[in-house]
Amino acid sequence: MDEVKRRARRFLSDPALPGDRRVRVAQALRSLDEKGTYQLTGAELDHGLKMAWRNDPRCIRRGTYPTLRQLSWDGVVRMDVSRTELTAERVIAAVGTYLREATNGGRLKPMIMVFPPDTPEGPRLRIWNDQLIRYAGEARPDGSILGDPKHVDLTAALRRLGWAEPIGRQTVLPVAFQLHDGVPIWATLPKDDILEVRLTHPDFGWLREVDFVWHALPAISRMVVVVGGLVLPAIFSGWYVASEILENLHRFGVLHQFAERLGMDRRDRFLLNRIEPIAFDIIMHSFRSAGVMIEDPWAADANLHRFVEQEKSAGRVLCGDKSRLVLAGATPDMHARTDTYLPPDPDADPGFHYLPEAWAPLT
C-alpha cells in the first residue's frame, strides 16, 4: 500500500492536471486508507493513458500519443467505472465493441479501452491472447505446423478449455480471459467484426493461389496500464507498420512461396534481400487498395526520430527497446539505431505493461 500511495502522490501532483493538486492528493490518500483503492477522474485517466503511451519503449508510433481516444467499454462515466462489476457477458460485448470501433471500416485510429482496475485482492481481468485477433497453430504428425507457429501453445490451451473447431491455415482463435483469477472463459469472435486484408497486386496474379490474408487491426490485449499506482487491464491499438506484416509472412513461409513463384533460387543466400522489397510492395498495395490504414517503415522510423528530437528539446530522454524499434527496411541514416534511449523501465507509471503467458500451467 505504501508503494501505491507513493505512485498516487507522484502522479496526482502532476501540474499538467487541472484543479488543486494538494487537495486531490489528500482525497486519493484518504480513499486508499479507507477502501484500499481510489478512483481516477476522467481528466486524470485521459492524461495518464496518453503519458503511458508516450512512455512505451516498444512503440515506434508513440509520437502520436496526443491523438489517443478512449473507448468506454460499458457506457458509464469514466470516473465511475471502478464501481461497475465485470461479468463474462460484459467483457465479450466490450471486445466486440472494441473491434468494430477501432477497425472503423479500415480507417484505423489510435484507441484504448480500459477496464475496472485491479483490487487489493488481485486482478480483475486478464486476457490470454496477446492480441485480440490471432490465428491458430497446431503440430501435425510429421512435425510440421498447420497455421501460425507462434500460437501453438495458446491453441493447445484453448483445446484444453474445450474449443474443438478444426483449423486451417488461418483460423481465428477465440479470445480467452479470466475474471478475478477464476476459471478461464473463451468466446468466438464474430466474423463480421474481423476485417482481413487479402494479398493482391496487379503485377502478381499468382497471389490468388497463395491465398493469404492478415487481420487489419493489431489490438494488443494481454496488457495492463499502470496509472498513479492503479493497475488497469486494457486493450490498445493503432495500425500496422508494413515490416510487422513482413514478419508474419516470413513465419508462415509465404516469402518462400513468393520466391518460388518468381523463379528465385531458394539456395541463394541473398534470397531474403531480393524478396523483401517485392513483399513490401505487395503488402502496401494490398492494404491501401483495401482501404486499410498501414504505414511504411521509413515513415514510421522518421516519425520516431522527430518525436525523440521533440522530447529532447523539452528536456526529456525517452526509454526505448531497440530490439523493437529497429524495423526491417529502416531509413538509411538508421535513426532507430542511433537515437539515444534510456533502458526500458519495468515499473513505469504511467506506463504500458505487457503480461506473460497466463496459460503456461495448463499446457
244 catalytic per annotation = yes
Instruction: Say how far apart CA 119 and CA 233 lie, in whole Å.
Output: 11
Radius of gyration of the chain (CA): 22
Q: Is the CA virtual torsion 71, 75, 77, 80 positive or negative?
A: negative
Catalytic residue among 7, 24, 54, 59: 59
Q: Report whether 36 contacts 120 (CB < 8 A).
A: yes
Catalytic residue among 7, 54, 62, 126: 62
Instruction: Say how far apart CA 219 and CA 65 lie, in whole Å.
Output: 16
Q: How many CB atoms lie within 10 A of CB 314?
A: 7
Catalytic residue among 53, 186, 214, 239: 239
Count how many Cα atoms sit within 13 Å of the Cα of residue 54 in the half-sphere of its side chain: 18
Catalytic residue among 44, 244, 276, 295: 244
Helix (H, G, I), strand (E, B) or coil at 294: strand
Cell numbers for 38: 481510489
* Residues across the chain: 363
Instruction: Say how far apart CA 226 and CA 319 lie, in whole Å.
Output: 16
Helix (H, G, I), strand (E, B) or coil at 331: coil
239 catalytic per annotation = yes
214 catalytic per annotation = no
Cell numbers for 178: 479470466
163 catalytic per annotation = no
Which one-letter DSSP state was computed for residue 346? T
The set of catalytic residues is 59, 62, 239, 244
